[in-house]
Structure 1
Amino acid sequence: MGPTVINIHSKTSVPGHVVWSLFNMVFMNFWCLGFIAFAYSVKSMDRKIVGDVIPAQAYASTAKCLNICTLVLDILMVTAIIICFLIEPAIIHQMVSEMKKYFEGFQ
């Protein structure tokens, strides 16, 4: 009996980032980057199914970058909105007090 050789072919795993792109498209799509990221994710999965690994990796990389950009921009926007809601009452209070001082001068 001769030696047994087993060839294991490892397929390169290409994450498509479809779930992340779908989440960004549905919930965090202020700049429409979620739609674009989802389109690249679908293209990546299509290329992966066909067997074209290099284009699939390129589309997946683009989808990942777009998802990261969407996430960062959304975090910045939510932070800016929170800051505006925190600062707005102070500004309104200051405006009201200045208006009171202004109208007290007429009496």
Structure 2
Amino acid sequence: MDVEGGRPAPGVQMQDYQQQPGGELAPPLVQYTAVTMVAETPKDHIIWSLCLFVYCNPCFLGLVALIFSIKARDRKMMGDLQEAQRYGSTARIINIVATVLLCLIVTACVIYYAIAIIKSVAIIKTISRPNGY
């Protein structure tokens, strides 16, 4: 240890010793904090899969997602959390794809029916005019 002018060299940390009642110097007490982290149980997304399966099952993706959700729940009950996470993740991806596909289908149907209604109203107006005026 290099001492320059009574100071320690840079980068060397000094320990703070405390004076004990008997006159001895003792190192400071170190306190440790133990944090117990509970692993989050994997999600199986079974409610989402059930809704897609019952209400709208585009290209049978709701059924496939339901099967993966049930597998994820079974693995979670057996204690195999890694496989449950894998099946749950697959069910989530299939649910997302099925939901996006459903939204596209509903949007296309709304647009199609709106155009059909506009055209039928225009046809009715031309038919109902006397002498084509």
Indicate whether the TM-score tops 0.5.
yes
Contact 1:48 1:56 in 2 (8 A): yes
Contact 1:12 1:53 in 2 (8 A): no
1:64 alignment partner in structure 2 = 92
1:74 alignment partner in structure 2 = 102
Bigger fraction of residues in strand: 2
Out of 54, 60, 85, the residue aligned to residue 82 of structure 2 is 54
Contact 1:29 1:35 in 2 (8 A): yes
* Greater shift in the superposed pair: 57-66 or 6-15: 6-15
Q: Which runs of 5+ in 1 are unaligned?
A: 1-5, 99-103
- The structure whose RCO (Cα within 8 Å, separation 6+) is larger is 1
* Count of paired positions: 96
Distance 1:14 1:7 in 2: 21
Out of 32, 47, 51, the residue aligned to residue 23 of structure 1 is 51
RMSD: 2.5
Distance 2:102 2:41 in 1: 29
Judged with a 3 Å threshold, the aligned counterparts in structure 2 of structure 1 residues 97 and 9 are, in CA distance, closer, same or farther, namely closer
Amino acid at match of 1:52: D
**Whose Rg is larger?**
2
What SS does the corresponding residue of 1:32 show, helix, strand or coil? helix
Distance 1:18 1:74 in 2: 18
Name the % identity.
34
Q: Which runs of 5+ in 2 are unaligned?
A: 1-33, 127-131
Contact 1:30 1:74 in 2 (8 A): yes
